[in-house]
Amino acid sequence: MNRMRRVRNFLRNEEGMGTVEIILIIVVLISLVIIFKSQLTSLVNTIFTKITSSANTI
Q: For each successive 10 residues of the chain (58 residues), what is the average pLDDT?
A: 76 70 92 93 94 82
| 18-57 exposure pattern, b = at least 16 Cβ within 10 A, e = fewer | eeeeeeeeeeeeeeeeeeeeeeeeeeeeeeeeeeeeeeee
The whole-number pLDDT of residue 27 equals 96
In a domain, 41, yes or no: yes
In a domain, 7, yes or no: no
The whole-number pLDDT of residue 39 equals 94
In a domain, 35, yes or no: yes
The number of domains in the chain is 1
The whole-number pLDDT of residue 58 equals 66
In a domain, 10, yes or no: no
Domain that holds residue 45: 17-57
In a domain, 52, yes or no: yes
In a domain, 11, yes or no: no
pTM of model > 0.75: no
The whole-number pLDDT of residue 32 equals 94
In a domain, 38, yes or no: yes
The whole-number pLDDT of residue 20 equals 79
